[in-house]
Chain A
């Protein structure tokens, strides 16, 4: 076997291993996937809503927060981070309606910095972070807060799902978010949730303060804060039953920019916590390697694909030049007779397994997505959408090397 074939088999082995790991965790814990701990105490909760140019969505976010059935809601602090639109005016109007709404208006300094600013003012023992374009369900806070009866839990996150599901891109993200929520919940069973996303996560204030708040130098303050908590020995949980709907990008450009920011943020976090590799329990032994694999395996896959096909392309081109020079036919029927190799079969099987896994996840999530989603969209998600990822990662590496630091 040649080196390239060995690398190809390694890529397949690792991909299959992680898939098998998820299935193993699922079958051991499938009965508790949607478990909601009983709420024994209504802890005081402060909700932080950082906002930058969110005039169209922030009203809905605030309305949804105040519609919550959680009885310990102490205050909602909206931080207007130097918006250039009417976000502040919308908030001022809402302030008249909700007495518990506190509005902070400050010069633009980024999301993490805004959250740190607000953290100094919070009165609750727990802090929820909600993006200003996200809409938590009525029961979400009650469902999340129950997890904190375990004193080792530092953060709890909810299942995020797209609000807008009309365009193809939005519908593909719906599938993606379902898969992410499902696998994230499974990671909880091995104490390896690597991010409590900003769309809706609740933190124990003590843990957050111990971590020194949010890292304003990081593009993904939610990944960073989660890693910080894990590195200090705190647990991060997920409530699959608690949902928050969020506005997702509806153009490819916006999607691309968002994902590049997430990925560059991931690189920053990896760099910051590289010394914890193979230290500190599951964090160093699984979360960091898993994250590294997640970022590199796609590049490896696309690298192999390109290596093989670029070489073939160059060979074909040279052969074509030779044929043209000699005046022989460029293509003959015989050239189309391709006998598949074992590698082709392995690739097809792996693709089918991942396709079936996606369907399985959509079924396991007990959501109506599967009914509404067209089969070709799941197929498209398994091919085009996932194929775009390695390119996005490569682009992110480039942007990171150029000092990319846009947080929005």
Chain B
């Protein structure tokens, strides 16, 4: 490169670097803002869940209290599900903070496991038929297209089952993130080694193939 023209190239490089660094910083701040939003969801859900847990511990078998708790549990369940969808969206769009989100995913799944345990507790206390829980278990992260396809189908099936069932809560949880409470909870089911699984009311268990019957019925 001839020295007399070097300043053009240096200027261009500086301009490009400035624009790029600005772009990267904006990108980071955009993703950080999204992550902060998820952390906020996590914290508020965690405190609400804690509150629900303590309410459950001091619960008397009383119709009015049960009904109140079920409603609260329902609202929280819907919120957790909506947050899971937002989480999924942000996770797909993440470029710079993908690895951070893997850890966040685990934290959310611990929360969802506690929520499931709580829901079981409420059902035991308030009567088994008070509401239905649909737990969708999957492996995370899915990299193979076959696995991704199965998960998409199972997501749809679980949503269909949820919309066809009155008073139901859908809880999607990754089952391979070494959450001890979850491992303990699901070890009783024979299809636990299947990559995707639907557990309805802790009794009916559907692997991928069997779950299709839930739609055709």
Contacts and interface: CB of A to CB of B under 8 A. Distances in A.
Interface in A328-374: 328-329, 332, 334, 337-343, 345-346, 349
B156 A16 contact: no
A7 interface: no
A257 to B, nearest CB: 35
In this complex, the member of A20, A323, A338, A343 whose beta carbon has the largest number of chain B beta carbons within 10 angstroms is A20
Given A326-B157, A332-B156, A286 B31 contact: no
Contact of B93 (A315, A318, A340): A340
B37 to A, nearest CB: 11
B30 A20 contact: no
Interface stretch (B16-24, B44-52, B113-121, B170-178): B16-24
B83 to A, nearest CB: 14
A303 to B, nearest CB: 19
B215 A327 contact: yes
A272 B195 CA distance: 57
Contact of A24 (B15, B93, B153, B159): B15
Instruction: Classify chain B's interface size.
Output: 35 or more
Contact of A190 (B5, B95, B96): B5
A282 B150 CA distance: 57
A239 B30 CA distance: 47
Contact of A314 (B85, B145, B156): B145
Contacts of A349: 23
A314 B146 CA distance: 11
A281 B150 contact: no
A328 B156 contact: yes
Contacts of B1: 282, 285-286
Contacts of A323: 152-153, 156
A5 interface: yes
B13 A17 contact: yes
Contacts of A309: none
A282 B31 contact: no
In this complex, the member of B13, B16, B96 whose beta carbon has the largest number of chain A beta carbons within 10 angstroms is B16
Given A282-B1, A282-B5, A318-B145, A24 B95 contact: no
B128 to A, nearest CB: 29
Contact of A322 (B5, B30, B31, B153): B153
B76 interface: no
Contacts of A285: 1-2
Contacts of A342: 23, 26-27, 30-31, 93, 95-96
Contacts of B216: 327
Contacts of A338: 89
A35 interface: no
Nearest to A344: B93
Contact of A16 (B9, B20, B89, B92): B20
B90 A322 contact: no
Interface in B48-107: 85, 89-90, 92-96
Contacts of B16: 13, 16-17, 20
A322 B11 CA distance: 53
A317 to B, nearest CB: 10
Given A24-B15, A286-B1, A190 B8 contact: yes
Contacts of B149: 315, 318-319, 321-322
Contacts of B31: 342
A212 to B, nearest CB: 26
A21 interface: yes
Interface in B197-217: 211-212, 215-216
A349 B34 CA distance: 20
A25 B5 CA distance: 9
21 contacts: A13-B16, A20-B13, A20-B16, A20-B19, A24-B8, A189-B8, A190-B5, A281-B2, A315-B145, A318-B145, A325-B153, A326-B211, A327-B212, A327-B215, A327-B216, A329-B156, A339-B93, A341-B94, A342-B27, A342-B95, A342-B96
Interface of B: 1-2, 5, 8-9, 11-13, 15-16, 19-20, 23, 26-27, 30-31, 34, 85, 89-90, 92-96, 145-146, 148-150, 152-153, 156-157, 159-160, 211-212, 215-216
Given A25-B8, A315-B149, A319-B149, 14 more contacts: A17-B13, A17-B16, A21-B12, A24-B8, A24-B11, A189-B8, A281-B2, A323-B153, A327-B216, A340-B93, A341-B92, A342-B93, A342-B95, A349-B23
The 6 closest A-B pairs by CB, nearest first: A342-B27, A328-B156, A21-B12, A20-B12, A341-B93, A322-B149
Interface of A: 1, 5, 9, 12-13, 16-18, 20-21, 23-25, 28, 189-191, 281-282, 285-286, 314-315, 318-319, 321-323, 325-329, 332, 334, 337-343, 345-346, 349
